[in-house]
Amino acid sequence: MDKTELISGILGTLFIISIILYSATSSGFTMFLHFFLLISGILISILMINKITKSKNSLKSKIYFSLIFSLLIFSLIVFFWFLGNHSNIDEKGLTTTLIILPSSLLFTLVSFITGLTLSIKRKNRKDFKYDLRLFLWITSVVFIFLLILFFYNSTLTKLAISTNSKDLCHLTISPNIQSNLFNVRFKEYCLLTISVEESKTGAITCGELANIGDKNSCYRWTSQNRRDIKICIDNVVAETEVIKYNVECTSAIRYLEEEIYNTLSNPQHPDIMYALKSTPELGIYYDEVAENKYIPLIKNIVVQGSLEAKRKSLEILFTWASQDGLEEEKIILREQILPLIENQPELQEYVTKINQRLNAVILPSSTTSNVRTN
């Protein structure tokens, strides 16, 4: 083993150890490793190029060696960066965009240009005989293999979605690990996207998804695609009803505002309960425009709707009335809500509740949040 091979071997060993740590860490140490890999990579590359360009190989072989070896060394750095998860130091992908990719590309070009220059300059050198064929084949195969692995999941996912093939989704490399290249989200995203697409015209297959968040997203998008809020409200899974409507179905509710308005306009509509459950997310408690648009419809439901719809509407109106303090609440209860129900025997419990609230007083020694009912 000559001096060049010994130095290259030592640097290569350090390079391999560093690149494994590089993929497994996400801190300032990772960035130190990145620059170490760039420097050791360029040294290995130039040492090998310097040696090979002195051999009896053809100019074409020397140039190709300079290209493929440079590509392999620095593509390894990029590959192992994406093999890990560096979200702690790569917010919004800025580190990748501004540091990792540009620096790796720059060192690749420097290495290749060095090799190209030496190859042309030494095209007639025949210092020793070195058979490059096997090495070039191995290097080329490894580089192509890395390239295939790098784009495998993203390409397969796009193909599966474009062909609506869930079977292809299952062929992604999707272990449950923290990796940008290989993780379970590739398969889950693929299945979710296809399920949402299928639900536009065919059967709703959101229930087949394993991840709760994906199921909820699927039902939400299906509601929007089919313009049917029932799908979201009936199927999303959440810890509480408040979370269910305030988080999971909010976007669908706002997207289907026109449908909800039309439903509320017809107190006997079969989907009236779904529309009523949706109204808080339309801003009736804090948006004056929404309040003026929907509160009259809800009041009309108290008069003309089914008993179940009347009860739900009153719950909404009570919450709406309590937004601006006790005295304002009393005025709304007495002048706007009580007249709607005082002649409806089936709603007398709400009449009693309103009368109790009208007799409520604020204790002098308490804060405004402490109310006493006589």
Residue 11 clears pLDDT 80, i.e. is over it: yes
Crossing angle (nearest 10°) for helices 133-163 and 59-83: 50
Q: What is the pLDDT of residues 238-257, one digit of tens each?
A: 765 655 556 778 889 999 99
Q: Tell me the domain boundaries of the chain.
A: 3-130, 149-255
Give the list of residues 6+ apart from residue 90 with CB closer than 8 angstroms, or none: 26, 96
pLDDT at 368: 47
Residue 326 clears pLDDT 80, i.e. is over it: yes
- pLDDT, mean of residues 16-38: 94
Strand partners, 372: 361
**Cβ atoms 271, 230 nearer than 8 A:** yes
Q: Is 360 helix (H, G, I), strand (E, B) or coil?
A: strand
Q: What is the pTM of this model?
A: 0.78
Q: What is the pLDDT of residues 254-312, one digit of tens each?
A: 999 999 999 999 999 999 999 999 998 898 988 899 999 999 999 999 999 999 999 99
- pLDDT, mean of residues 61-87: 95
Of the chain, the percentage scoring pLDDT greater than 70 comes to: 93
At 230, list the tokens. 């029932």
